[in-house]
């Protein structure tokens, strides 16, 4: 019974942090003549939970988070979901060695993950709109997401008291 409650609370924590991150990504900074988009916190949280709780961040969970991200952020429904799922499946083999490595290596792994997600989403969005979309917003948002990852990762690890290995989590 204890394992069932532990799994329930872990799943609740993963879902809550994922949806809060997506909602936070919807906020825009009103700087200058045009609003500047925030980093994609949903991508950060998906990668974080893939590292620390791979049993909770499964492909169906990634699908739910990606769909919620597309719907909340107003993107083309399916582009974000598909790009997030493809990146998750392709980079899944890379994750086990990264789980026990220092933050710098996890950050580089996140760079590969986020770069793949943003590239696939740009390709799918361009295909859906039948025109090549500008790359400037993709690079700005991708760069901001990359730079924010260590801050979010360290903060969540401190708050949740998570060590390097996924077995010591919670």
More confident: 2 or 14: 14
The range of the structural domain enclosing residue 147 comes to 2-168
For residue 32, which phi and psi values (nearest 5 degrees)? 75, -165
Q: Please report how many Cα atoms fall inside a 13 Å half-sphere around the Cα of residue 32, on the Cβ side.
A: 4
| 49-79 tens-digit pLDDT | 999 888 889 999 999 999 999 998 888 889 9
More confident: 4 or 70: 70
| 107-142 tens-digit pLDDT | 999 999 999 999 999 999 999 999 999 999 899 999
The confidence score (pLDDT) of residue 37 equals 66
CA dihedral in degrees (114, 81, 23, 20; nearest 10)? -80
More confident: 145 or 101: 145
**For residues 34 and 20, what is the distance between their CA atoms, to the nearest angstrom?**
24
- Determine contact, residues 76/120, Cβ cutoff 8 Å: no
User: Average per-residue pLDDT in the chain?
Assistant: 86
The confidence score (pLDDT) of residue 101 equals 87
The tally of domains found in the chain comes to: 1
Give the pair of three-digit tokens for residue 12. 């609740």
More confident: 108 or 167: 108
For 98-102, 115-119, 153-157, which range has the lowest pLDDT when averaged over its residues? 98-102
């Amino acid at each position: 019974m204890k394992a069932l409650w532990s799994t329930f609370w872990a799943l609740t924590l993963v879902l809550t942090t994922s949806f809060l991150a997506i909602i936070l990504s919807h906020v825009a900074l009103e700087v200058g003549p045009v609003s500047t988009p925030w980093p994609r916190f949903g991508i950060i949280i998906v990668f974080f939970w893939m590292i620390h709780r791979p049993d909770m961040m499964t492909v169906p969970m990634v699908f739910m988070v990606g769909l919620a991200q597309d719907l909340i952020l107003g993107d083309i429904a399916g582009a974000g979901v598909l790009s997030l799922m493809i990146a998750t499946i392709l980079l899944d083999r890379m994750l086990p060695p990264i789980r026990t490595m220092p933050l710098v290596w996890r950050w580089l792994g996140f760079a590969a993950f986020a770069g793949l997600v943003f590239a696939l989403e740009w390709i799918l969005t361009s295909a859906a709109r039948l025109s090549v979309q500008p790359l400037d917003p993709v690079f700005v948002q991708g760069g901001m997401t990359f730079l924010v990852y260590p801050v979010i990762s360290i903060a969540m690890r401190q708050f949740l008291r998570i060590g390097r290995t996924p077995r010591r989590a919670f």
